[in-house]
Amino acid sequence: MVDWDDLRVFLAVARAESLSGAGRGLKLDAATVGRRIARLEAALGAQLFVKSPQGYALADAGARLLPHAEQAEQALAGAAEALGAAAGHFSGQLRIGAPDGCANYLLPQVCAALCDAHPGLEIQIVALPRVFNLSKREADMAIAVSPPAAGRLTVQKLTDYRLHLAASRAYLARHAAINSRADLAGHRVIGYIPDMIFDKELDYLGVTGAETVGLASNSVPVQLMALRAGAGLGIVHDFALPFAPELVRILPAEVSLTRAFWLIRHADDRRSDRLGRLAEALGQGIRREVARLEAYLVQEG
């Protein structure tokens, strides 16, 4: 007889493609994960994985088992959802993947409100400057700056947000006044490392008129701290500016960008009422927080 807990370990290894990666998610050491896989293989009388220098790949038997294990996982999640819905609250774990600008300046407030409203909910925010792989269950849902072009995914636009050129008051005090785009020449630009831009929507260099980035990082908070330190000028999310009172916008009428956040979920999750309701609550929270922070900036201006 197959133990569900062993199937859970099987799914973790299939998604992480390594014992150590699966162990980190399960809070088990790699040796224990290996023993559990060996136990499941013995119970089924089949080899589930093939080990290679790249990690653990599904063998033929493992590939056949995968959809059944996922169905069992969804059935258990559905049972938990039904009990939670009856009680009128969310519970369990929710992992959200997001680009680090959203993860740093929007999600903490939004998720804090969700946790306050639903004490049984455990939220994990994964902030990474790249696209998330939902098919490997790196996250339950992900926020992106452009909709994916392929994959078995459901995509929902959350909200537009605005970005402007900004610099610290100290930096501007040390340099000649910037009254037009022509005055931007010769200033150090802070922005993304060009060959590490993972989405075309993050390529802001052209709008500054600069040809190179003088100080670069793949991290939005690092860029913001460099601006706060007076290292140059750069494009900043309007919703991040309230967290950096040293910064002021430059040529806001001439240098302005609008981008959007998109909520992405695995197509199979459409059957999950819990994830559907959580997605709606998350979307509402992000829209409110973007509006609140951008309104604060207008009031301060």
Q: Please give the tally of structural domains in the chain.
A: 3
Residue with tokens 């939004």: 110
Domain with 180, as residue range(s), is 159-257
Question: What CATH number is given to the structural domain containing 66?
Answer: 1.10.10.10
- Whether residues 153 and 224 fall in one domain: no
- Whether residues 75 and 94 fall in one domain: no
- Whether residues 222 and 169 fall in one domain: yes
- pLDDT digit string (tens) for the chain, length 301 residues: 677 788 889 888 988 889 988 888 888 888 999 999 999 999 899 999 998 888 899 999 988 888 888 877 766 766 655 555 444 567 788 889 999 999 999 999 999 999 998 888 899 999 876 665 655 667 888 999 998 877 778 889 999 999 999 999 999 999 999 999 999 998 999 999 998 888 888 888 888 888 889 999 999 999 999 999 999 999 999 999 999 999 999 999 999 999 999 999 887 776 677 788 888 999 999 999 999 999 976 554 4
- Tokens encoding 37: 């896989």
Question: What CATH number is given to the structural domain containing 269?
Answer: 3.40.190.10
What end-to-end distance do the CA atoms of the chain give, in Å?
67
- Whether residues 264 and 153 fall in one domain: yes
Q: Considering 84, 108, 136, which residue would you say is the last residue of a domain?
A: 84
- Whether residues 139 and 275 fall in one domain: yes
Contact present, 244 and 163 (Cβ < 8 Å):
no
- Whether residues 169 and 229 fall in one domain: yes
Q: Considering 54, 84, 114, which residue would you say is the last residue of a domain?
A: 84
pTM for the model: 0.71
Selection from 122, 119, 116, 124 nearest residue 96 by Cα: 124
- Whether residues 176 and 198 fall in one domain: yes
- Whether residues 169 and 20 fall in one domain: no
Neighbours of 172 (CB within 10 A): 18
